[in-house]
Amino acid sequence: MLKKRIIFTLLFDNGSFMLSRNFRLQKVGNISWLQKNYNFSNVAFFIDELVVLDVSRGQRDLEAFLAALTEISTGCFAPIAAGGGVDSVVHAKQLLRAGADKVVLNSALFEQPHLVQEIASEFGQQCVVGSVDLKANGGGYDIMVNNGMRKLNMPPSEALAWHMRGDVGEIYLNCIDRDGTGQGYDLDILDILPTDWNLPVIIAGGVGNAKHFAAGLAEPRIDAVATAHLFNFVGNGLMNARRALVREGLHLAEWPDIRAVDLGRAG
């Protein structure tokens, strides 16, 4: 049985890291603030993967994003997936050269499927994470693209079926209605998946504490749980959450104690 994963997501907007609530952004701090509060050489012992997304609403500063990604990846032992506005194979290559192990594609999944295929062909299917933003519509869910501003006029299961053909390695499902609320995951969004869905699923949107992680990890259709809420897990929050989940018997990888690693380095 494969181990399940805990993923931490960072949102970047032209030089600053952000909090998001229902896709409305609030500035938190720059790369110096982030490194002060989240030393990712340490945080990497308590997460299985890091996702870094450029969610800029206006003109994207790619150089600033690549510089931040490079700094974050230095000394971070956890795999990193990065994306946001990826519009070419060259753009994807820049992310990988800046320290990413995977490329996250969102609007391109539905608006530029041939680009998705090109990136998968160039770097491998396992290198592509498909990010899907969902919003409740009263009787189901709509896929939202362009930073959640436009509804995709296609049923979600039909839109996602295309990507079971081998161009995406896993899917990141984010609930806009729960985003940043701390109310827990909306597990009903899993019902939008085609019945024969066979790719790993990451769920995001709504985490407020470790119990919400546990609820997601207990769902058989979920392979990984993600949070982008910087303040809920500041300090030792991620360490304490992971240890609590392991004590509860959830099927997570157990990494070496960071203190033992530091002692090994000192020796």
On the question of pLDDT at 235 being above 80, the answer is no
Q: Are 135 and 119 in contact, with CB atoms under 8 Å apart?
A: no
Go through the chain and tell me how many residues it has.
267
Query: So what's the pLDDT on residue 267?
Result: 43
Mean pLDDT, residues 46-63 taken together: 93
Query: So what's the pLDDT on residue 226?
Result: 97
Percentage of residues of the chain with pLDDT beyond 90: 68
Q: Are 222 and 186 in contact, with CB atoms under 8 Å apart?
A: no
Helix (H) or strand (E) holding 117: helix 113-123
3-state secondary structure 128-178: EEEEEEEEECCCCEEEEECCCCEECCCCHHHHHHHHHHCCCCEEEEEECCC
Sign of the torsion formed by the C-alpha atoms of 41, 181, 135 and 251? positive
Query: So what's the pLDDT on residue 263?
Result: 40
Most confident of 96-105, 192-201, 254-263: 96-105
Give CA–CA dist 21/123, Å, rounded: 33
- Residue of 133, 167, 186, 223 with catalytic role: 133
Query: So what's the pLDDT on residue 1?
Result: 55
Query: So what's the pLDDT on residue 236?
Result: 81
Does the annotation mark 133 as catalytic? yes
On the question of pLDDT at 264 being above 50, the answer is no
pLDDT tens-digit map of 131-159: 999 999 988 999 999 988 999 999 999 88
Tell me the sheet residues that pair with 16.
Answer: 13
pLDDT tens-digit map of 19-39: 999 999 999 999 999 888 888
Question: Domains of the chain by range and CATH?
Answer: 5-266 (3.20.20.70)
Q: Are 201 and 2 in contact, with CB atoms under 8 Å apart?
A: no
Query: So what's the pLDDT on residue 67?
Result: 96
On the question of pLDDT at 254 being above 50, the answer is yes
* Average per-residue pLDDT for the chain: 90
Q: How confident is the model at residue 255 (pLDDT cuts 50, 70, 90)?
A: low
The alpha carbon of residue 25 and the mean position of all alpha carbons in its chain are separated, in whole angstroms, by 16
